[in-house]
Structure 1
Amino acid sequence: MPSPLCHALLRNLDLFRPLSDSQLDAALREAVPCRLEAGEAAYRQGAPGAHFFVLLHGCLKVSQLTSEGDQVVVRYVNPGDMFGLACAMRQSCYPASVVAVQESVCLAWPASAWEGFTAAHPQLSAIALQTMGQRLQDAHLRIQELSTDEVEQRVARAILRLVQQSGQPMQDGIGISFPITRQDVAEMTGTTLHTVSRLLSDWKQRGIVSSGRKRIVLRSPAALERLFENAQPAMDCASCLSCRDGSPAVQAQEAIAAH
């Protein structure tokens, strides 16, 4: 049985706030608390989908290894988010890996408990369906961005999206509240570490962002928004092999959307 601390943390999350104390106790009956150190995996891509989870504290990175061996960062999991919903999608294995980017705490339920969990708590079932629908919509949007946007647009959108989801006020702007590397941004946007480093260095000189080791702070959201709003349309490159076949990032997003 989870500790009273887990109970208190759940009570503060939007996902569980509608439940009465007795309903919350029932929901927690089969849950097991899990603490993950930075870099530790909750599960790996292809592993049996034995559990579903709710993140209580910290931040997790969802990534997928494509058939070509490229890693693509799909999204980040924030406190209150459900994840590992392979059982809800009738999938036997997890379609991606989930790794802690900082010390994190989550609750895990056995996949066999999913049917009873959702039947006993229809509010949670509705939220889970809404969550999966939103992720599918987000995946489709990112496929479109990867297919049509210039690299600078994609990187600008990714940083703005992270700030909107996990922004934290700081002295010099709004920072992404968890450690994030330039390689992470490259894997989110289907580009290279060199390109992301060049863009962030240019934006830093222009006063748009400040960055350091595993740290990005947005100093001027309006300036970053203008970068993709005023960008020129991408050239027609239908003959380019990477565009015809789909970049690794596009292929991974399509796979995630399919799940």
Structure 2
Amino acid sequence: MTQVDEAGDAPPQVFGHPLFQGAPADVQPMLLRDAAVLHAQDGQTLFREGDEAAEYLYVFSGSVEVLRHTQDGQDRVFSIFQAGQMLAETAMFMTHGRYPMEARARGDAVVLCLKRAGLQEAVGAWPELAMRLLNRLSDRVYRRVNEVEWYSDSTAAQRLADYLLRLSGDAAGAVRLPLTQRQLAAHIGVRPETLSRLLADWVTQGHIAGARRDWVVQDPAFLESLAQAARRSF
């Protein structure tokens, strides 16, 4: 990963993150040792799948998408991290020592590159940090298990309805897709042709309006009736 400006004094934003909040004064220098600020341009790759996992990232501004390339050459975006969020911290503890996915800037972004060695040292010095990391990892595993069940038990329409409702906050209103339609199709596990047909049908029926990445949810009750049938209660 490209090294740029030294991080300097402890940026207060980083120690406001739930993972580091309340870090003891003697632990903070461990976490920031050799940290550097990276100014990334739109589309710049921050790390690639299979690279040595030597750094994890805190997003100062802009956003970073985490993805994998599918066998047919498409990008499957798993998560988008916004300002104030942290990514790849759990990769610092993987036994194979490599990133399991690729990270790429969405628009111009500024990130703080933090070192694996410092995080591992901080865990030994501050046990509370280890517990927080375990909690974060456990929550992610739980979400992924639910997603596997969701993909196997739900229909394409239910998955798309759920996705649009999450963007709109379960209410009527305008939403902008953070993904291209091809990326969205891969994200919710449907063929691009199926996604296009569903969107076109719902426009015709008056449930949504729009095109490409800009849409308006006009009938949230219809989407809710689809999504709720396959949602878990917790």
- What band does the TM-score fall into relative to the shorter chain? 0.7 to 0.9
- In the alignment, the residues of structure 1 paired with residue 165 and residue 30 of structure 2 have an alpha-carbon distance, to the nearest angstrom, of 39
Contact 1:10 1:16 in 2 (8 A): yes
Residue 187 of structure 2 corresponds to residue 183 of structure 1: no
2:55 partner amino acid: H
Let me know the Cα RMSD of the aligned residues.
3.2
Percent of residue pairs bearing the same amino acid type: 25
- In the alignment, the residues of structure 2 paired with residue 15 and residue 95 of structure 1 have an alpha-carbon distance, to the nearest angstrom, of 21
Match of residue 62 from structure 1: 66
Runs of 4+ in 1 over 6 A off after TM superposition: none
Match of residue 3 from structure 2: none
Task: Label 1:127 to 1:30 Cα distance change in 2 as closer, same or farther (>3 A).
Answer: farther
Match of residue 123 from structure 2: 118
Residue 26 of structure 1 deviates from its aligned partner by 5.4
- In the alignment, the residues of structure 2 paired with residue 64 and residue 106 of structure 1 have an alpha-carbon distance, to the nearest angstrom, of 20
* Cα deviations by residue, 1:117-163 (Å, 9 ceiling, x for unpaired): 22344444333222222221121111112212111111222333455
Contact 1:181 1:215 in 2 (8 A): no
Match of residue 192 from structure 1: 191
* Cα deviations by residue, 1:47-88 (Å, 9 ceiling, x for unpaired): 111212222322222222356766432222233333223222
1:91 partner amino acid: H
The secondary structure found in structure 2 opposite 1:102 is strand
Matched residue pairs, number?
224
1:158 partner amino acid: Y
Residue 210 of structure 1 deviates from its aligned partner by 4.2
1:173 partner amino acid: G
Residue 141 of structure 2 corresponds to residue 136 of structure 1: yes
Deviates more, 1:42-51 or 1:6-15: 6-15
Task: Label 1:175 to 1:7 Cα distance change in 2 as closer, same or farther (>3 A).
Answer: farther
TM-score w.r.t. the length of structure 2 is: 0.77
TM-score w.r.t. the length of structure 1 is: 0.71
Match of residue 240 from structure 1: none
The secondary structure found in structure 2 opposite 1:112 is helix
Higher strand content, 1 or 2? 2
Task: Label 1:31 to 1:12 Cα distance change in 2 as closer, same or farther (>3 A).
Answer: same
- In the alignment, the residues of structure 2 paired with residue 163 and residue 48 of structure 1 have an alpha-carbon distance, to the nearest angstrom, of 38
Where do 5+ consecutive residues of structure 2 fail to align?
A: 1-5
Match of residue 226 from structure 1: 225
Match of residue 252 from structure 1: none
- In the alignment, the residues of structure 1 paired with residue 215 and residue 64 of structure 2 have an alpha-carbon distance, to the nearest angstrom, of 17
The secondary structure found in structure 1 opposite 2:11 is helix
Where do 5+ consecutive residues of structure 1 fail to align?
A: 232-259
The secondary structure found in structure 2 opposite 1:175 is strand
Match of residue 236 from structure 1: none
- In the alignment, the residues of structure 2 paired with residue 198 and residue 3 of structure 1 have an alpha-carbon distance, to the nearest angstrom, of 52
* Cα deviations by residue, 1:211-237 (Å, 9 ceiling, x for unpaired): 444444545443321123358xxxxxx
Residue 85 of structure 2 corresponds to residue 81 of structure 1: yes
Deviates more, 1:48-57 or 1:195-204: 195-204
- In the alignment, the residues of structure 2 paired with residue 137 and residue 8 of structure 1 have an alpha-carbon distance, to the nearest angstrom, of 31
